[in-house]
Structure 1
Amino acid sequence: MIAIPALLAVGLLVAIFVGYNIGGSSTGVAFGPAVGSRIVGKAAAAGIFTAFALVGGWTIGRNVIETMSEGIVPQSQFTLAVSIVVLFFAGGGLLVSNVFGVPASTSMTAVGAIAGLGIATNTLDEQVMFAILAAWIIAPAVAFSVGLVIGRYVYPHLDARISFTRFQGGLVRLDRSGSGHLPTPTLNENAAPRDVLGALIVVIIACYNAFSAGASNAANAIAPLVGNGSITASQGIVLAIAAIGVGSFTIARRTLDTIGEGITDLPILAAMIVSLVGATIITVLSGLGIPASLAVSMTSCIIGLGWGRSSRVVTLAEATSVALEKGGAEATDVVLKKEDRPEFSADAILAESGKSNSDSNPARGPTVGELATGEDEDQTEQQDTEREPIEVPGIGEEEPEEVLEETPVLFDRVATGRVVFLWLLTPTISTIGSYTIFVLFF
């Protein structure tokens, strides 16, 4: 039996703790829609998530590990004791997330701790750090912009033609009526071809999210230990993904019950778009070796979708002409009556899906949260599969009240402000705390 030094054992345990919590939080976000739609079960979701996270970490995730283990500060700075401190800060970010119920970015917190080390020792690579900070600003801006364009020009047409069905007995059932000893998987008899296609899209995007999560998050758990040479990058990836997998099979079951804190009120279609955009941004950044937050990108895309959807009540020509004459702040007031003017927010995504308190505006399809809690039981499989495409009004032809009529609030502005504040606060505290500790004790 190989003896592990006590300090290294502590470092490995902290790394496992970080990976365990990453698996618990990320699995629900990636596979929430698939589990809520009963396309896959929780155990299958955990297994698939772990497999694709391993692929992501083993491939482009190495670029992020390299940046965090030797790019921000020289590799020589990562003694074993220093590495443990950095990992504790990454774990602290997860603790803040749990205490305040906000998905704090582990990547941003870990980078902040490493930056504090670099400032304290005067070894920070300012060029690399500037590139990371620039990406943290550009990524959510891109996510918001893409969401806005999709919400304004694409989402209503997709929503009118695509539906996602919740199958009470699951999409695939086990037929035990045969003479053989093993049950035979059979497709749900209520499943139309487009239901199968929709289910396939949901699962593919979930796998893509898992790949992205592994690529960006493996480094958060093991980069400092790789930096000091305690473990190799390959060993670290296996350790991190194993810990993430344990989290997926255990505490992630709770997050799968609630189908992710940030997407419970989103229609399935919107959740898929948000997941696809967020995962793509993080995959690209991971390929460049830049650690970034998937949660930040996804939230920015959600806001952009809502803004884009609600902006359809006016044409660009109307908004531009009035803006030139009256100024941007007064443009919407002139084009629309003040009392009819919609608030540009993510609430409009619920309106697009027909989520309303009004009996005259019935829901078109279930939201992710309803699929999780079973609140959409009254909507039968057959009704979903027979849904006819809806004609989409042109831009500027919709009445504001049709867009936001009695919609429940998807984004509480106070809560959103708290989320953004904590996203900025946690890496700031990590950087200042790390700097203080390394100046005083190292």
Structure 2
Amino acid sequence: MVEFLVAVGLAVAVFVGFNIGGSSTGVAFGPGVGSRIVRKGTAAALFTLFALLGAWTVGRNVIDTMSSEIVAAAAFSPEASVGVLFFTGTALLISNLYGVPASTSMTAVGSIVGLGLATGTLNSALMFTVLSAWIISPLISLFAGALFGRYLYPHLNAKLAFGRLQSPLVKVDQGKLLPRLKINKNAASRDLIGSTLVITIACYMGFSAGASNAANAVAPLVGNGALDASPAILLAVGAMSLGAFTIARRTLDTVGSDITDMPILASLIVSTVGATIITLLSWLGIPASLAVSTTSCIIGLGWGRLSRARTLVEIITPTTEGTSAPAASASGIAAADADSDTETPVNPTVGELAEGEIPDPEEQQAPEDAIPAIGEETPMAAGSLFDSAATARIVVLWVLTPSMAVAGSYLLFSFLI
């Protein structure tokens, strides 16, 4: 019976890793594939490589926390391990059904917390630290996005331009015995620099995804001794790689509404901020959500970009009747990038690059002295500070899915153990 439960645990772990790989690859490499910098197969290979690097290094700290520190390792019986992984897989299903980037990490921790409450082994001091990080990290991401959008984004936008490559920047040469990466030598220097930026940050996101998410698939199995850390990491990344080469193809096609409507420069900022926060937390051994951090940065960046139409004094002062603050969203960022006369974005979105509708990058750059000062830009949108309905739905599911995992896990293990 024990051997059967271990086998079931391994199968569920592979299922969880498979889904993590499918979703994480699309988030990390969607901009690169959409703008023809890399092919899907190359994106999957690069994601696998950097996810393994992240999981093998700082990811071990997260595995240690989730396998033996939130609750005692002895609490992870074969039955408990299967239950925890089941609730983690359920979270992925809920997020896919509702189209909301729910946190696998937060739900996996919630399942472990339910186990700890049922068995009386929960480390309350550590959980207070983890919960504090879950509150503070999105706020930091939101604040960083707002600062970038309000003060730095227009100047970066004036310096950088991105075009759509006619052939991939990076591809795999399979003409020899061992496949190897080849660089497109015909790419213009500006495209080469911009494309290198996109792919470098995508690899960084892959590293961050491996560091934070490998533990979600295998921590219970490490806790009960079914696997040591190193084989567990290989199992998790192998499952994530399978998802990257299969179901991620659809994710890479659709990219997602937030990223598709977002300018390449904005996606680079969001990816860098989100991945940096999660990598630092993973190094500290704190499981946290890349989806939550990046989404918070999107909201902050959109608000910051559109808030340039008003000075700080005007923002603080209550708006007069009939007026309101600018709306902040991915499409709002793209709108704010548009030239007021031509309505052509200085910096193209991923979706526009994928459709091949972008003019020559040489024509897209704005001179530095043409950037309007804060308070002088024309508001590009009106309404609430952000899309309240969409934001409410996202925040509710961020709170609801781990809460459901805690409650369900507690009830299950109260009767089972």
Instruction: Give 1:229's aligned residue.
Output: 225
Q: Distance in 1 between matches of 2:324 and 2:156?
A: 25
Contact residue 173 and residue 188 of structure 1 kept, 8 A: no
- Name stretches of at least 5 consecutive residues in structure 2 with no aligned partner: 174-178
Q: Distance in 1 between matches of 2:85 and 2:170?
A: 42
Instruction: Give 1:393's aligned residue.
Output: 372
Alpha-carbon distance change, 25 to 259 in structure 1, aligned in 2, over 3 angstroms: same
In the TM superposition, residue 351 of structure 1 has moved relative to its aligned partner by 2.0
Contact residue 35 and residue 42 of structure 1 kept, 8 A: yes
Q: Distance in 1 between matches of 2:314 and 2:216?
A: 48
In the TM superposition, residue 217 of structure 1 has moved relative to its aligned partner by 0.2
TM-score, normalisation: structure 2: 0.92
Instruction: Give 1:441's aligned residue.
Output: 416
Instruction: Give 1:352's aligned residue.
Output: 336
Contact residue 84 and residue 108 of structure 2 kept, 8 A: yes
Instruction: Give 1:361's aligned residue.
Output: 343
Correspondence for 1:246 among 238, 242, 245: 242
Instruction: Give 1:201's aligned residue.
Output: 197
Percent identity of paired positions between Structure 1 and Structure 2: 56
Instruction: Give 2:176's aligned residue.
Output: none
Correspondence for 1:160 among 148, 158, 163: 158
Contact residue 61 and residue 219 of structure 1 kept, 8 A: yes
Q: Distance in 2 between matches of 1:386 and 1:145?
A: 32
Q: Deviations over 1:381-440 (max 9, x none)?
A: xx223433332111112232xx338x9x99743233212111110000000000001111
- Name stretches of at least 5 consecutive residues in structure 1 with no aligned partner: 176-181, 324-329
Contact residue 14 and residue 239 of structure 2 kept, 8 A: yes
Show the 5 A alignment for 1:235-384: 235-319=231-315, 323=317, 330=318, 332-333=319-320, 338-339=321-322, 341-346=324-329, 347-354=331-338, 360-372=342-354, 374=355, 377-380=356-359, 383-384=360-361
Amino acid at match of 2:334: L
Alpha-carbon distance change, 308 to 410 in structure 1, aligned in 2, over 3 angstroms: closer
Instruction: Give 1:5's aligned residue.
Output: 3
Instruction: Tell me the C-alpha RMSD between the 2 structures.
Output: 2.6
Instruction: Give 1:31's aligned residue.
Output: 29
In the TM superposition, residue 350 of structure 1 has moved relative to its aligned partner by 1.6
Q: Deviations over 1:273-320 (max 9, x none)?
A: 000000000000000100000000001001101111122122235555
Q: Deviations over 1:21-40 (max 9, x none)?
A: 00000000001111111111
Q: Deviations over 1:209-229 (max 9, x none)?
A: 000000000000000000010
In the TM superposition, residue 100 of structure 1 has moved relative to its aligned partner by 1.4
Q: Deviations over 1:146-183 (max 9, x none)?
A: 001111100111112211111133336899xxxxxx99
Contact residue 156 and residue 352 of structure 1 kept, 8 A: no
Larger mean Cα displacement after TM superposition, 209-218 or 34-43: 34-43
Alpha-carbon distance change, 410 to 366 in structure 1, aligned in 2, over 3 angstroms: farther
**3-state SS of paired residue (1:263):** helix
Q: Distance in 1 between matches of 2:315 and 2:392?
A: 28
Q: Deviations over 1:324-362 (max 9, x none)?
A: xxxxxx1x43xxxx556442423541223218xx87422
> 2:406 aligned with 1:423, yes or no?
no
Alpha-carbon distance change, 205 to 173 in structure 1, aligned in 2, over 3 angstroms: closer
Contact residue 85 and residue 217 of structure 2 kept, 8 A: yes
Amino acid at match of 1:279: A
Alpha-carbon distance change, 370 to 399 in structure 1, aligned in 2, over 3 angstroms: closer
Q: Distance in 2 between matches of 1:83 and 1:378?
A: 50
In the TM superposition, residue 185 of structure 1 has moved relative to its aligned partner by 5.6
Q: Distance in 1 between matches of 2:64 and 2:52?
A: 17
Contact residue 165 and residue 384 of structure 1 kept, 8 A: yes
Alpha-carbon distance change, 86 to 164 in structure 1, aligned in 2, over 3 angstroms: same
> 2:122 aligned with 1:124, yes or no?
yes
Q: Distance in 2 between matches of 1:185 and 1:224?
A: 40
Contact residue 63 and residue 289 of structure 1 kept, 8 A: yes
TM-score, normalisation: structure 1: 0.87
Q: Distance in 2 between matches of 1:263 and 1:92?
A: 25
Q: Distance in 2 between matches of 1:96 and 1:352?
A: 33
**3-state SS of paired residue (2:365):** coil
Q: Distance in 1 between matches of 2:283 and 2:170?
A: 36
Contact residue 326 and residue 385 of structure 2 kept, 8 A: no
Structure with max Cα Rg: 1
In the TM superposition, residue 102 of structure 1 has moved relative to its aligned partner by 1.6
